Amino acid sequence: MPVSYRQVTGWIRAFAAAVAENKEYLTELDSAIGDADHGINMNRGMQAVLQKMDAGEAGDIGALLKTVGMTLVSTVGGAGGPLYGTLFLQMGTAAAGKSELSGEDWAAALAAGVAGVQRRGKAEPGDKTMIDALVPAVQAVRSALAGGSALDEALRRSARAAADGMTATIPLVARKGRASYLGERSADHQDPGATSSWLLLRTAAEALAAEAV
Amino acid sequence: MKKLINDPADVVKEALQGVAAAHPDRLRVMTDPNVIVRADAPVQGKVGLVSGGGSGHEPMHGGFVGMGMLDAACPGEVFTSPTPDQMLAATKAVNGGAGVLHIVKNYTGDVLNFEMAADLAGEEKIEVEAVVIDDDVAVTDSLYTAGRRGVGTTVLAEKICGAAAEQRRPLAEVAELCRKVNAGGRSMGMALTSCIVPAAGKPTFELGAAEMEIGIGIHGEPGRERRQIAPAREIVEMLAAPIVDDLPFRPGDRVLAFVNSMGGTPLIELYVVYNELHRFLAGRGIEIARNLIGPYITSLEMQGCSITLLKLDDELTALWDAPVNTPGMRWGA
């Protein structure tokens, strides 16, 4: 079963709730290797997104995702604003005009979003960034769908791959962002960006699979 | 936390209101999104200069808006990059038909947001060039880091490029000049104490009563090493020697020596530092042709200083001497 517009709004709301719940945790991770504002900034952005969504319907999934992206770009600041903003803007472009998404549509939109993040941030897997959670998530959803899995199963595998990618950042030495200034001292810490990206994929698996089971 | 504020959430907004109330002759403060812009912007036929970054470094950047320096500044939250919509609004407000130069300090957030803003300005057919300042020798520049941070040289680049723009030099030339200033400028800072971001309410990092951090960043990022406090003479050598060796500055070079307070260090100590720097450079055969001493690129109430050296030639010296009239820097006008 395809993903509906209603489910996508549910996903955005669930992500906002997860960010709010984990605001302190994300900021704590960031204070170890960054500048201690990731949770605060992402929460400010997602709260602004909720206000936008309460104010009116976007019409279709593409327009909704673009609104989320533009709102994040203009409210988050730091590096998270342009990176998460680009993710949603590119997903929105890929889903333009659609009122529902097939499994392939979802995989294509997610891949477009992640490719946008890579272009903007110029990070590669292994640099200890959000890319370490996002790239495996894209690969997992694609290979699950190609192997004949239903969308809800593909979404769950995608979330698990993001979780594995997130924990795999712990031993890494950062090569991008403010954490890279720490050099070897950035090892033994989980990357805050990879952690918020895992929340994004985990809430997607929960909210988008809800009706498809 | 003891601070002269009303509410941590309102610090940036209320400081901007204060700036607007204090300098209506020179500045206009736009809100939603926040931009400080020259009162007479856009100046027709002049390249517009836009910079920006997190708040908490005052007078940089908003205090440098005015004749002979910046046309607009975008203040973010404290120590958080501003957003592309601010930069786009600033770019549109200062575009007098000759294009706009973005002067960007090398921090991942600042760079990414300014890149998005340049994309957006391009869609509106405004010609934008961006120059990234990365002068902090405390940071290893390699493929495996985000590169050197942008610090003290930013102030000098804004002054010098501002003067060039007033002469109606074209965008490509002002951008090239900015790259030249960045190529010839090197900085390093140190901290005696931490600072408190109002929204955080507690010190950004802990520093023991007799400790100092050599190579600190302007947001309290860790530097090269933490060590016991030492006399100013030794501290100046710890900062100046890596700067001189990095470019390198050579005997016979003429430089602009910039001794900057991190916010909490008084002028009397800056002059002690300057005296030591003067002695150190004389020993290396380097002549200080111009100087700048005071709090210009700060880190809230942090005690400490940074030293910036910029290699001068006749062109840069003349542009440095040119009139400037901003709240944070004023001479000849």
Q: Of B184, B215, B231, which one is at a domain's C-terminal end?
A: B184
Q: Of B126, B152, B184, which one is at a domain's C-terminal end?
A: B184
Contact flag B108-A85 (C-beta cutoff 8 Å): no
Give Cβ neighbours of residue B156 (< 8 Å, ≥ 6 apart). B181, B185, B256, B258, B292, B308, B310, B320
CATH of the domain at B190: 3.30.1180.20
Instruction: Give percent of chain B above pLDDT 90.
Output: 89
Of A169, A181, A200, the C-alpha closest to A72 is A200
pLDDT at B63 > cutoff 90:
yes
Is residue A22 classed as helix, strand or coil in its secondary structure? coil
pLDDT at B266 > cutoff 50:
yes
Q: Work out the average pLDDT over B250-263.
A: 98
- DSSP structural state of residue B305: E
Contact flag A74-B33 (C-beta cutoff 8 Å): yes
Q: Give the pLDDT confidence score for residue A212 in this predicted structure.
A: 44
Identify which of A74, A77, A173 has the shortest CB distance to residue B109.
Answer: A77
Give Cβ neighbours of residue B250 (< 8 Å, ≥ 6 apart). B285, B286
Answer for the pair B302, B56: CB distance below 8 angstroms, yes or no. no
Write out residues 16-35 of A within 8 Å (CB-CB) of B: 35
Instruction: Give percent of chain B above pLDDT 70.
Output: 99
Identify which of A75, A80, A182 has the shortest CB distance to residue B222.
Answer: A182
Burial of B242 from C-beta contacts in 10 A (0-12 / 13-18 / 19+): middle
Q: What is the pLDDT along chain A (213 residues), one digit of tens a residue?
A: 799 999 999 999 999 999 999 999 998 898 888 877 899 899 999 999 999 999 988 889 999 999 999 999 999 988 999 999 999 999 999 999 999 999 999 999 999 999 999 999 999 999 999 999 999 999 999 999 999 999 999 999 999 999 999 999 999 999 888 888 777 888 999 999 999 999 999 999 999 986 544
Structure tokens at A75: 């409210």
Residue B83 falls inside a structural domain: yes
Answer for the pair B242, B278: CB distance below 8 angstroms, yes or no. no
Distance, in Å, from the CA atom of B80 to the CA atom of B9, rounded to the nearest integer, reads: 14
Structure tokens at B114: 């300014």
Structure tokens at B329: 């820097």
Q: Give the pLDDT confidence score for residue A182 in this predicted structure.
A: 79
- Helix%, strand%, coil% for chain A, nearest 5: 75, 0, 25
Distance, in Å, from the CA atom of A109 to the CA atom of A65, rounded to the nearest integer, reads: 10
Identify which of B108, B115, B116 has the shortest CB distance to residue A176.
Answer: B108
Pairing relationship of beta strands B225-228 and B330-331 according to DSSP bridges = unpaired
Distance, in Å, from the CA atom of A25 to the CA atom of A28, rounded to the nearest integer, reads: 5
Least confident span in A28-32, A86-90, B68-72, B81-85:
A28-32
Q: What is the pLDDT of residues B219-252, one digit of tens each?
A: 888 778 899 999 999 999 999 999 999 999 999 9
Q: Give the pLDDT confidence score for residue A210 in this predicted structure.
A: 63
Task: Count CB pairs under 8 A between chains A and B.
Answer: 82
Contact flag B108-A178 (C-beta cutoff 8 Å): yes
Distance, in Å, from the CA atom of B270 to the CA atom of B213, rounded to the nearest integer, reads: 17
Do B148 and B255 fall into the same domain? no
When divided into structural domains, chain B yields a total of 2
Do B190 and B172 fall into the same domain? no
Of B65, B53, B97, the C-alpha closest to B162 is B65
Do B80 and B130 fall into the same domain? yes
Do B265 and B171 fall into the same domain? no
> Residue B260: enclosing H or E segment and its boundaries?
strand B254-261
- List B224's β-bridge partners, or say none: none
Contact flag A181-B149 (C-beta cutoff 8 Å): yes
Do B33 and B63 fall into the same domain? yes
Give Cβ neighbours of residue B308 (< 8 Å, ≥ 6 apart). B135, B151, B152, B153, B155, B156, B185, B186, B187, B243, B256, B257, B258, B260
Do B152 and B180 fall into the same domain? yes
- List B306's β-bridge partners, or say none: B189, B260
Answer for the pair B93, B42: CB distance below 8 angstroms, yes or no. yes
Residue B176 burial (CB count, 10 A) = 15
Distance, in Å, from the CA atom of B112 to the CA atom of B52, rounded to the nearest integer, reads: 13
Contact flag B108-A73 (C-beta cutoff 8 Å): no
What is the value of ipTM here, to two decimals? 0.81
Do B42 and B178 fall into the same domain? yes
Distances (CA, A) of A154 to A93, A137, A138, A165: 22, 10, 10, 16
Answer for the pair A94, B85: CB distance below 8 angstroms, yes or no. no
Residue B227 falls inside a structural domain: yes
pTM of the model: 0.90
Look at the block and give the residue holding tokens 């890149």.
Answer: B115
Q: Work out the average pLDDT over B303-332.
A: 98
Q: Give the pLDDT confidence score for residue B224 in this predicted structure.
A: 81
Structure tokens at B186: 């090197």
Q: Give the pLDDT confidence score for residue A183 in this predicted structure.
A: 79
Identify which of A73, A82, A181 has the shortest CB distance to residue B221.
Answer: A181
Give Cβ neighbours of residue B22 (< 8 Å, ≥ 6 apart). B327
- Across chain B, mean pLDDT equals 96
Chosen for mutation from B32, B108, B202 (greatest number of chain A CBs closer than 10 Å) is B108
pLDDT at B199 > cutoff 90:
no
Q: Give the pLDDT confidence score for residue B143 in this predicted structure.
A: 63
Identify the CATH number of the domain defined by range A3-209: 1.25.40.340
Do B190 and B176 fall into the same domain? no
Q: What is the pLDDT of residues B5-39, one digit of tens each?
A: 999 999 999 999 999 999 999 999 999 999 999 99
Domain ranges within chain A, ordered by starting residue: 3-209
User: Residue B67 belongs to what domain range?
Assistant: 10-184
Distance, in Å, from the CA atom of A198 to the CA atom of A204, rounded to the nearest integer, reads: 10
Q: Of B134, B169, B184, which one is at a domain's C-terminal end?
A: B184
Do B179 and B197 fall into the same domain? no
Do B31 and B161 fall into the same domain? yes
Do B157 and B189 fall into the same domain? no
Q: Give the pLDDT confidence score for residue B202 in this predicted structure.
A: 86
Q: What is the pLDDT of residues B267-277, one digit of tens each?
A: 999 999 999 99
Q: Work out the average pLDDT over B124-153.
A: 90
CA of A38 vs chain B CAs: smallest distance (Å): 10
**B32: which chain A residues are within 8 Å (Cβ-Cβ)?**
none
B280: left (phi over 0), alpha (psi -120 to 50) or beta: alpha
**B116: which chain A residues are within 8 Å (Cβ-Cβ)?**
73, 82, 85-86, 120
CA of B221 vs chain A CAs: smallest distance (Å): 8
Residue numbers of B annotated as active site: 57, 219
> Residue B186: enclosing H or E segment and its boundaries?
strand B185-191
> Residue A129: enclosing H or E segment and its boundaries?
none
Answer for the pair B328, B63: CB distance below 8 angstroms, yes or no. yes
Q: Give the pLDDT confidence score for residue B145 in this predicted structure.
A: 75
Burial of B220 from C-beta contacts in 10 A (0-12 / 13-18 / 19+): buried
Least confident span in A164-178, B106-120, B137-151, B222-236:
B137-151
CATH of the domain at B14: 3.40.50.10440
Do B232 and B156 fall into the same domain? no
How many CA atoms, within 13 angstroms, populate the side-chain half-sphere of residue B177?
Answer: 29
Structure tokens at B96: 């007098």
